[in-house]
Amino acid sequence: MWANYDIREINLDNTREVEAVRTFLAGFDLTYDGSADYTVAFYQQAEMIATGSLAGEVLRNIAVAPKLQGEGLTAKVVSQLMQQAGQRGIYHYFIYTKPAAAPLFTALGFKEVARCEPFAVLLESGLGSIDSYCRQAAAQAAQLPAGPRAALVVNCNPFTLGHKALIARAAGENQGVVVLVVSEEKSLFPFAVRERLVREGLTEYNNVLVLPAGKYIVSAATFPGYFTRGADTEQAQACLDATIFARYIGPALGVNRRYVGDEPYCATTSGYNQALAAILPQHGIELVMISRIKDGDEAISASRVRELIRRQDWAAVKQLVPATTYQYLLSPAAQPVIDRIQASRSRH
């Protein structure tokens, strides 16, 4: 039925073309949020019959007109997106979809990573896998002392005395601690800087290992809702991210505790903590929630530090961050980051 069709790359700067995709997807209860790097549409004459998008490693917003479902058109869309990914040097792929649609993609060779009913399923294919990620993480964690072990997942945008206090608490209560720094480049401080500041700020602890979180923890694949708003999306992805950690990453690292700071301000992080509290104990991992330390009456937070940087209140910043973070902020290397902070109102 669809033998005669045209494949058109959508001009993401063309409002009319983007709106046509958005309207088509609305019929499938899918939202086009404009975060794609590439979008393709299949047309029969002037009628859109299928579409799909690529955002980094994630194949998303794949939809086929109801009258053509079951005709193999989904495979054509996926193939087109993979070809485009290959041209960009990407050979590992995620698909985030609704549970009912998961069989369409397992039939195409995708492997299910985790699901969170009734919200979402994450699948992957290509070079690399959650299993290889876990083997590498386990090998790195083997250098920690034997005994009770904890993990923390931190963004540290930037690294503050609040982060350090939480990690110090974990280091004092466990033989080993793994600190996983969110790798996604969605923050005002680049990943390389955030990871460096965490490492430099923890040098006095010989039982703490700092690692990149990678693509399976609070990433564009597992938890884009951390970086973009939307309550339903965030609930689904918090559940999925927590499930992946509980089933795969926690056991690979040998951790039996995960530490988090309480979150009185950000609804997304608070919801994520709730998902962790519900899911981790089912897999033998205790969630330890610690109250944030305060400076006066206000909790120390990275967002507060960024706001003080916007105001250029360096004396106040100095009270909230370790000396290593403060020294970086005063260095010439920090100026591009400071410029971005002062020009942005981003929550990350």
pLDDT, tens digit (0-9, with 9 covering 90-100), for 128-173: 999 999 999 999 999 999 999 999 999 999 999 999 999 999 999 9
Q: Examine the domain organization and report whether 291 and 205 are in the same domain.
A: yes
Looking at 127, 155, 185, which one is the last position of a domain?
Answer: 127
Q: Tens of pLDDT along 15-74?
A: 999 999 999 999 988 888 878 999 999 999 889 999 999 999 999 999 999 999 988 999
pLDDT bin (cut points 50, 70, 90) of residue 231 is: low
Q: Tens of pLDDT along 101-133?
A: 899 999 999 999 999 888 888 999 999 999 999
Domain presence at residue 348? no
CATH code for the domain in which residue 299 is found: 3.40.50.620
Q: Which two tokens stand for residue 281?
A: 């104990």
pLDDT bin (cut points 50, 70, 90) of residue 2 is: low
Please give the average per-residue pLDDT across 224-228, as a whole number.
49
Average confidence score pLDDT of the chain? 92
Q: Examine the domain organization and report whether 39 and 143 are in the same domain.
A: no
Q: What torsion, rounded to 10 degrees, do the Cα atoms 23, 28, 33, 35 define? A: -110
Residues 252 and 217 sit within 8 Å (Cβ to Cβ): no
Sheet holding 257-261, edge to edge: 208-212, 176-181, 149-154, 257-261, 286-290
Q: Tens of pLDDT along 232-271?
A: 667 778 888 999 999 999 999 999 999 999 876 677 788 8
Q: Examine the domain organization and report whether 235 and 324 are in the same domain.
A: yes
Q: pLDDT at position 226, please?
A: 44
Q: pLDDT at position 228, please?
A: 46
Q: Examine the domain organization and report whether 185 and 315 are in the same domain.
A: yes
Q: pLDDT at position 297, please?
A: 85
Q: How many structural domains is the chain composed of?
A: 2
- The H or E element spanning position 317 is helix 314-318
C-alpha 117/C-alpha 100 separation (Å) is 10
Which structural domain range is residue 266 located in? 131-343
